[in-house]
Amino acid sequence: MSKNKAFTMLVFLSDLHIPYHNKKLLKLIYKFLKDNQPDYIVLGGDLIDFYSLSKFNKDPRRALDIQKDLDILHEFFKILKEICPNAKIIYIKGNHEQRLRTYKWTKAPELAYLRCLTPQALFGLDEFDIQWEEHRWKFGKLWFMHGDKLSKHSGDSARKNREEYGVNCLTGHSHRSGKSNLTNLGGNIGGWENGCLCNLNPEYIAGIPNWQNAFSVVLDYKGKIFYLSNIDIVKNSFLYQNKLYTLNEEWEKEFNNDLGS
């Protein structure tokens, strides 16, 4: 938990797209969470890809692996609870979680309202004491959501969501890291897009997608003001408060030597 009780620390993670998540980067995220013990972990949607429920062409080898993907998701929740036992976890639905409802309504309407086939039940959210939010969640002056606006340039999706909702908002969905601010007579309004924690070279995309691995940290002061940091992950490494989180042993050794540790 935050050392200063006047401040609340929230960490926003989104767009893992299990089983296309970046397994190596999650090790760094786990280390970061363990070190900093946030008050809230906000999961901003598209944690699971639901690849086999997609309307797009599918690799037949992946078509029947939903249970395997759910098992990976459950393990992710288990680790979060183990390393941050006091953190409140919020899960906001994304468009890939929406694939489950769309599939049921269009392909299997007879199963549409079975309680055992809701995201909450399939994901085991009650077991892990995780709060489910269908659309968005607010803390202080900042709204957290998956977002539904897309642009090919970093920051533009943040701008579109900010303009659509007219509030401070932090979104996922675009897989890009960026921000957009507006100041008018009403004050300053910010929009942020979070980046992603998935593989940047997935099998289903030709070429190099304009995506960035990143996550966000929010420090809130009594609900009155907040500071938001987009933590960009570059070459499997990032810095936070004079600490290097990296998978590069050579960099880590050099960094510690420079600090005299």
Q: Tell me the average pLDDT across 183-210.
A: 87
Tell me what pLDDT residue 192 has: 97
Work out the average pLDDT over 13-24. Answer: 94
Instruction: In whole angstroms, give the CA distance from residue 139 to residue 25.
Output: 27
Taking alpha carbons only, the member of 195, 9, 193, 7 closest to residue 84 is: 9
Please report the pLDDT score of residue 185 as a whole number. Answer: 80
User: Residue 171 forms beta bridges with which residues?
Assistant: 145, 193
158: tokens are 């943040």
Instruction: Provide the token pair at 192.
Output: 């942020």
Strand 169-171: give its sheet, edge to edge. 136-139, 142-145, 169-171, 187-194, 177-184
Q: Is the pLDDT of residue 261 over 60?
A: no
* Rounded-to-integer distance, Cα 192 and Cα 84, Å: 25
Once rounded to an integer, what is the mean pLDDT over residues 197-211? Answer: 84
Spatial distance between the Cα atoms of 244 and 255, rounded to a whole number of angstroms: 7
pLDDT at residue 136 greater than cutoff 70: yes
What is the rounded average pLDDT for all residues in the chain?
90
Residue 86: the pLDDT is 97
The predicted-structure confidence for 87-103, as pLDDT tens digits, reads as follows 999 999 999 998 888 88
Q: What is the pLDDT of residue 99?
A: 87
**Can you give the pTM of this predicted structure?**
0.91
- H/E segment holding residue 31: helix 23-36
Averaged pLDDT, 35-59: 84
Lowest model confidence (mean pLDDT) among 51-60, 103-112, 224-233, 241-250:
51-60
Please state which of the ranges 32-36, 198-202, 220-224 shows the lowest mean pLDDT: 198-202
Q: Residue 58 above 60 pLDDT?
A: no
The alpha carbon dihedral of 54, 57, 59, 60 has a sign of positive
List the domains of the chain with CATH numbers: 7-236 (3.60.21)
The amino acid at 92:
I
**DSSP string covering 93-118:** --HHHHHHHHHHHHH-GGGTT-GGGS
Give which of 134, 126, 161, 159 is closest to 147, Cα–Cα. 161
